Amino acid sequence: MAVKTSNSYGDITVSNQAIALACGHIARDVYGVVDLVGRSVGDSFSELVGKKKSKSKGVKIITVNNRIYVDLFVILKYGVSINAVAETLKKTVKYGLEEFTGMIIDSVNVNVVGVRV
């Protein structure tokens, strides 16, 4: 699916893949985030084998009625406050995606998969 909007410049459509790529870039820039990881065992296996190297791994985008819901699957740096990094990640991704798409981000869920030294 994709989100659609209209303004004085015309109709704008942003695909879920474009939103996921932007979200991945925004999330990796947050202090304390080491990496985003695949959502399933199949994704992880494909990454190990080298068949699939996606820039949007660890990001799940759901769009319903031009509202965007984001799920992030992250590995954090050892020694940082998990709560502080998760809250910063939520706010940063929400702001960045709203600026990028011009749409309302309903929720950003952060799933901490692991911690890396």
Structural domains of the chain ordered from first start: 2-116 (3.30.70.1350)
Query: Which helix (DSSP H) or strand (DSSP E) does residue 104 occupy?
Result: strand 104-116
What are 21's two structure tokens?
A: 């790529």
Indicate the residue type of 96.
G
pLDDT at 4: 83
Q: How many CB atoms lie within 10 A of CB 68?
A: 23
Q: Has residue 108 got a pLDDT over 90?
A: yes
Give the Cα-Cα-Cα angle 113, 78, 17 (nearest 5 degrees).
40
Mean pLDDT of 12-32: 92
